[in-house]
Amino acid sequence: MSKLLETKISVIGMGIIGSRCADNLSKSGMDVRTWNRTPKARVDGVDDVAESVLGSEIVAFYLKDGIACREVFEQIRLNLIGVDVLINHSTIDLETTHWLAAECEALSCAFLDCPFTGSKIAAENGELVYYAGGDENLIEKYRELLEVTAKEIIPVGKVGNATVIKVATNLISASTVQALSESFAIASAYGIPAESFISAVSGNACGSALAAMKLPTMVEGDYETHFSLDNMLKDANIAMTLAKSAALRTPGIEATAGVMQGLCDNGSAGLDYSALYRQFEK
């Protein structure tokens, strides 16, 4: 085992992704400690978040949003002195990414902006993809660690770039599932069998890995959570904030975000974001 994988790591945030990444890090032989706001029944769990990072060389965030990242950072701030690196895998707003980087620098703690793409199954199999923003030498230093939970690490330049790329690509995913919902609703209204429609999409230029993953479950009304609707709404709101700051109009994601908000308000927030199709369910 390499020296890097013999180090101690604190994984903060035991949601769908963080918990599975912590499991894979443990299997690799690393000394893992975990924390979650709502305590989980884990042998590596620590009740106090500040205590969870004591003595760790690496801290990894898998938190819900920028607010959670800021709150947790303030709670662990004093214990980050002596930590080698904070790696943020959470999808958050750009302002918070830059804030985390500056606060880490003040504590002489390195920082990587490293959000992921991939959902529950990818996390379980250690096959996430990380967009990595930050010093290239730092990315290479921790590449072996990142490869425990990911099949690919894509360096994207300075801190902040990965945050923007992750939000922008999630905009495409949300918009695609909205388009799939609308198109399947139209086809169904005219009596097109679901299997015919799925086959047509798979053989069309509009077919994609996302369509192949989401359309069959939408047909079945199976909205088991791989990436929740409220998290996708959060990312859509971040995308619209970025667009506004750049003086850009984004009517497509604005419309989709409005639908997601309505569905979240009506009880679908915790379902997979393929629950966008529920807007057409009777």
For the entire predicted model, the pTM comes to 0.95
What confidence score (pLDDT) does residue 282 get?
Answer: 77
Q: What's the confidence (pLDDT) of residue 3?
A: 81
Q: Are 145 and 169 found together in one domain? A: no
140 & 189 share domain:
no
**Same domain? 65 vs 183:** no
**Domain extent at residue 200:** 163-280
Are 101 and 210 in the same domain? no
Rounded CA separation 183/196 (Å): 13
Amino acid 231: pLDDT: 97
Torsion angle (degrees, nearest 10) of CA 28, 150, 164, 202? -150
Task: Write the pLDDT tens digit of every residue in 213-253.
Answer: 999 999 999 999 999 999 999 999 999 999 999 999 999 99
In this structure, what CATH number is given to the domain that contains residue 172?
1.10.1040.10
pLDDT, one tens digit per residue, over 33-46 is: 999 999 888 999 99
Do 133 and 176 lie in a common domain?
no
Q: Are residues 135 and 56 in the same domain?
A: yes
Do residue 249 and residue 273 come from a single domain? yes
Residue at which a domain ends, from 158, 187, 205: 158
Write out pLDDT tens, residues 126-170. Answer: 999 999 999 999 999 999 999 999 999 999 999 999 999 999 999
How many domains, the chain? 2
The predicted structure's pLDDT at residue 5? 78
Sheet holding 85-88, edge to edge: 31-35, 8-12, 58-61, 85-88, 110-113
Confidence of residue 1 (pLDDT cuts 50, 70, 90): low
User: Which sign, positive or negative, has the C-alpha torsion 213, 219, 222, 224?
Assistant: positive
Question: Quick one: which of 115, 110, 103 has its CA closest to 161?
Answer: 115
CA-CA distance, 114 to 112, in Å (whole number)? 6
Last residue of a domain, one of 158, 186, 208: 158
Calpha distance 257→235 (Å, rounded): 9
Q: What is the CATH number of the domain that holds 126?
A: 3.40.50.720
> Among residues 108, 139, 158, which one ends one of the domains?
158
Q: What is the mean pLDDT of the chain?
A: 97
The answer on 136 and 185 residing in a single domain is no
Q: How far apart are CA 157 and CA 131, in angstroms?
A: 10
pLDDT of residue 2: 79
Give me the mean pLDDT over the 191-218 stretch: 97
For every residue of the chain, which 3-state class applies, written as one string? CCCHHHCEEEEECCCHHHHHHHHHHHHCCCEEEEECCCCCCCCCECCCHHHHCCCCCEEEECCCCHHHHHHHHHHHHHHHCCCCEEEECCCCCHHHHHHHHHHHHHCCCEEEECCEECCHHHHHCCCEEEEEECCHHHHHHCHHHHCCCEEEEEECCCCCHHHHHHHHHHHHHHHHHHHHHHHHHHHHHCCCCHHHHHHHHHCCCCCCHHHHHHHHHHHHCCCCCCCEHHHHHHHHHHHHHHHHHCCCCCHHHHHHHHHHHHHHHHHHCCCEHHHHHHHHCC
Do 145 and 33 reside in the same domain of the chain?
yes
First to last CA, the chain: 56
* Confidence (pLDDT) at 143: 97
Spatial separation of the C-alpha atoms in residues 82 and 221, rounded to whole Å = 49
Whether residue 151 is found in the same domain as residue 204: no
Is the confidence at residue 56, as pLDDT, over 70?
yes
